[in-house]
Amino acid sequence: MSLSVDIKKRLGSFQLDVSFEAQDATETLALLGASGCGKSMALKCIAGIERPDEGRIVLNDRVLFDSAARVDVPVQQRRVGYLFQNYALFPTMTVLDNVLVGVREGSQDERRERAQAQIRAFRLEGLEDHRPAELSGGQQQRCALARIMANDPELLLLDEPFSALDGFLRWQLELELSDTLKAFPGGVVFVTHSRDEVYRMCDRVCVLTAGKSGRTVPTRELFDAPESLSEAVISGCKNVSAAVPAGPQTLDCTDWGVRLACGTSVEGCDHVGLRAHFLRIVEADGRSVDTIGDAATGFGSGAGGGERGTYPCSRENHIPCTVARVIDNVFSTIVMCDTPGGGQLRVELEKDAWAALGDPTRVTIEVAPADVMALRG
């Protein structure tokens, strides 16, 4: 599968301006961004539900839309399957009739056989005469997917398929959908605001911010090495500060009042990010804390190999803080710390790790240079 999207569309005061590509035949590409950033609008333009003002959309060398050439292929001819957030099943129709809607060619008998084949493929046997209200959430999702697959699509578009579900059902349906995507021979574009879903289910990711697309990168790269402030925040970074380069690999962090060494060049950077679970407490109320590799340390990064997560025997990247607030989270303890610059840092520790420190009021935080993320705003 190859997909190339380069489009613009204005809707009131909102301007969508996105450009991204997927070249791998079985790639799952995520469009990740906050609510209202234009993810679903981009998906609807690919499907043909919305018409861009200008630009070009090409799927497997077929031009679906080209404003300059005045090409706009109808929805029914695009061979694109769209899974809506609420699945968009017809409430008064049975499972069989809903799936039949997706079969657009052939005689009545041929269409029925293709629908039955999809019903078997999605484990809906015995439910052919049921209506959507009589189905579980997982059965509704499988019915919607069966209807999509009955039309033999080249591309699947998934629009926040788990957004309206509770935690347990969300997990169950994610497992089922993952199996479906692995068996699907085409490509997938997955729209979500959940970084966890992206990390587990997608091969590459493009971040959208206020209608504009950023770079498209392998999923792990977004989480391991974000380049921009928007990438860091959407990938879960809780600690960000304005920053000024103070050397080739050194940043003065304005909000925290400290200078931090980085593992990469800081040229052109104006922000810095620290992941809460990469920070370690090395002093508590003036007492040294041996935090290397045991429960008393917090998490540390321990990721990526090489220099990442290693700490030199010096006071480099030490941040003296006052404990402002301690939050008992479900599986961890969150410590909010006031820094010399007045801004706060969030540190996440194992519950036992914080308890072992004796509830201190002053702590010194350490971060490995390789875990300091130099960012461009």
- Report which of 154, 136, 139 is spatially closest to residue 99, judged by C-alpha positions: 139
- In whole angstroms, what is the distance from residue 97 CA to residue 103 CA? 10
The CATH number corresponding to 3-224 among 1.10.3720.10, 3.40.50.300, 3.30.40.10, 3.40.30.10 equals 3.40.50.300
Residue whose entry in the numeric block shows the structure tokens 């959407």: 234
- For residue 178, the surrounding DSSP H or E stretch is helix 167-183
> What is the separation of C-alpha 155 from the centre of its chain, rounded to a whole number of angstroms?
19
DSSP string across 37-73: SSHHHHHHHHHTSS--SEEEEEETTEEEEETTTTEE-
Residue 272 pLDDT exceeds 70: yes
- Amino acid 69 reads A
Topology given in CATH for the domain delimited by 274-375:
OB fold (Dihydrolipoamide Acetyltransferase, E2P) (2.40.50)
| Contact criterion met (CB below 8 Å) for 157 and 83 | yes
- In whole angstroms, what is the distance from residue 84 CA to residue 204 CA? 21
Burial 134-162 (b: 16+ CB within 10 A, else e): ebebbbbbbbbbbbbbbbebbbbbbbbbb
Residue whose entry in the numeric block shows the structure tokens 């929805």: 75
Q: Supply the pLDDT for residue 293.
A: 35
Q: Residues 303-359: pLDDT tens digits?
A: 333 344 444 445 689 999 999 999 999 989 999 999 999 999 999 999 999 999 999
Q: Residues 54-81: pLDDT tens digits?
A: 999 999 999 999 999 999 999 999 999 9
- List the domain boundaries for the chain: 3-224, 274-375
- Report which of 44, 67, 53 is spatially closest to residue 9, judged by C-alpha positions: 53
Q: Residues 108-166: pLDDT tens digits?
A: 999 999 999 999 988 899 999 999 999 988 889 889 999 999 988 999 999 988 876 66
Q: Supply the pLDDT for residue 310.
A: 47
> What is the separation of C-alpha 196 from the centre of its chain, rounded to a whole number of angstroms?
6
